[in-house]
Amino acid sequence: MASVNAIIVERMQSDIDLIPTLAGHLVASGGKRIRPMLTLAGAMTTGAKNAETEEAQLNAAKLAAAVEFIHTATLLHDDVIDESNMRRGQETANAIWGNEASVLVGDFLFARAFELMVETGNLAVLDRLSKASARITEGEIEQMLIAGKPDTDIDAYLSVIIGKTAELFAAASETGGLIAGGDDAVVASLKDYGMALGVAFQITDDALDYAADETRLGKTVGDDFAEGKTTLPVMMAFLQGDAEEKAFWQRTIGAGDLRDGDLAEAQRLMAKYDAIEQSLAEARKHAEQAGQCLAALPSSPAKDALIETAAFAASRAV
Amino acid sequence: MASVNAIIVERMQSDIDLIPTLAGHLVASGGKRIRPMLTLAGAMTTGAKNAETEEAQLNAAKLAAAVEFIHTATLLHDDVIDESNMRRGQETANAIWGNEASVLVGDFLFARAFELMVETGNLAVLDRLSKASARITEGEIEQMLIAGKPDTDIDAYLSVIIGKTAELFAAASETGGLIAGGDDAVVASLKDYGMALGVAFQITDDALDYAADETRLGKTVGDDFAEGKTTLPVMMAFLQGDAEEKAFWQRTIGAGDLRDGDLAEAQRLMAKYDAIEQSLAEARKHAEQAGQCLAALPSSPAKDALIETAAFAASRAV
């Protein structure tokens, strides 16, 4: 990961000082770097004989940096779209430097991600990550379209989180396998692993956004509620609610008419129907499934790391 | 161009209806399609023996569509950044569907552009256009940084317009040459041609934004003034102005304190120093230079088209 971080810092440089300043603010703010880790570990689990060469390792590191750049670009754009002022306990880039700069630096990082991928010379990787990038934006647009609609069906929600989160997790681990020359079965296992892990992570995030303990998530509780996002715990509480409760969700999530005490009432209704616990159980199911996807891979420290990540995802969801 | 248009329409499709609706609004609004034309003509001027195969022509068309997608993505983001309500005589996408949708559909088109490039299987083209995409965003950021500063020096302005406009013109014609297998000298000529043409186009746009006749440009006169953009005619009038005139530019372009009659006063000061005519003369110089870049290329209808485009650029600048 040290070489990935070095590439990230080097490649966000530009003659325009604002670019590394703004990008560095987000990059240095302590993200978990899960996606580039998936790429590196994916590359190291394949057992392919050329994966250990210096060139192969540099290519895997470049690819991991590219994946993190794509993620960072989407975060910059998300914060503009959500008009967010805080992320990871810090002011957002758009709050400090404005929406224009955040949109453009996001575009810059996206372009740089493709530069890095081109340098690996691997067209399969470029194919996979360009398709994933399109799918991410589709997921974000779907999320926008279901916002304010607590009566959304679960399939539409799953499509959103697969697009906005799981698709990049899947492409990160899958392209790690691809760049290391892993065989088709290994690459497919890595993809399935990333997909299940991403679904687990996003459902957990969505559930913990209504959990009482703010320190668990590292973000403010109630953000999704304030933004009218339609997420799994909301949908579960809505689905099981009586007419009066459904009207509450339509007024708050639906119409955005928020009053004092509404967040507490939302949490009370979720507790009544066990909606947070049910959501976390769903997340755990996907996290466990992720671990199982790796069963056929040969033993290695990298495989252990991926299994630990799946276990960590499951442990968040309690 | 018919096959390029077919690819554009086909590839902006998505299961999310909003994507083709929003993208189609801009794509159908009558842009000049200069950039994809440069790519196609660039491919057809090389005289390379494989350029006439069906596969080569399909790849050139895909590349041309990719170039138009990159351009369309930057327009969607520009309109969000500039808070523009009108483009090409129509309401902008952000005015109709909101900033969120415009940012995300821009991201989608950018990702689709890379999908199309990957399909051509040509890494040199991917390298060139990923670098150009990064440079475009740098130019846009530089433009943001010099906004409101009429005392900007000309080199900084040239860097802005090379980045935000000429770089994609250059990459469009250059990659046309590359994908057709043109030799290095031909590809270099096409790049130089596109760069000079792009500079000519942007200076002309910037000058005509202050011209009296709105029909010449197809956009409202005074947009750049209202947005405080630092462009060549402003810089020329500022540079030659006396202390009182400099104070006028600092109040308007600089501080954004606009009053009735300010646009007319700006135009009067430009007329006093011949700033629009001088700007257009500069644009004509670059347009003529563009035509000269093609001197060494073999005669062909495609070369004639490129020369005509340069002549058209010069003719706009009168």
Is ipTM strictly over 0.95? no
Q: How far does Cα B235 stand from its chain's mean position?
A: 20
| pLDDT score, position A212 | 63
In the block, which residue shows the tokens 């009429």? B150
Nearest chain A Cα distance for residue B115, angstroms: 5
B298: DSSP letter? P
Picking from A14, A100, A121, the nearest residue to B144 by CB comes out as: A100
List of E strands, chain A? 86-87, 90-91
Which residues lie below 8 Å from residue B91, measured CB to CB, with a gap of 6+?
Answer: B85
pLDDT value, residue A216: 54
List of residues 6+ apart from B100 with CB closer than 8 A = A81, A144
Q: Vertex B59, ends B57 and B60: CA angle to 5°?
A: 65
| Chain A neighbors of B101, CB-CB under 8 A | 141, 144
Q: How far is B166 from chain A (nearest CA, A)?
A: 17
Would the pLDDT of B300 be above 70? yes
B144 touches chain A (CB under 8 A): yes
Contacts of A104 in chain B (CB under 8 A): 77, 81, 137, 140-141, 144
Q: How far apart, in whole angstroms, are the C-alpha atoms of residue B138 and residue B132?
A: 10
pLDDT for position B219? 58
Instruction: Give the 3-state secondary structure of A285-317.
Output: HHHHHHHHHCCCCCCCHHHHHHHHHHHHHHHHC
User: pTM above the 0.90 mark?
Assistant: yes
**Does the pLDDT value for residue B214 go beyond 70?**
no
Q: What is the pLDDT of residues A79-103, one digit of tens each?
A: 888 887 877 778 889 989 999 999 9
Give the side-chain half-sphere CA count within 13 A for B8. Answer: 22
Q: What is the pLDDT of residues B247-260, one digit of tens each?
A: 999 999 999 999 99
Residue A253 burial (CB < 10 Å; 0-12/13-18/19+)?
buried
Strand partners, B87: B90
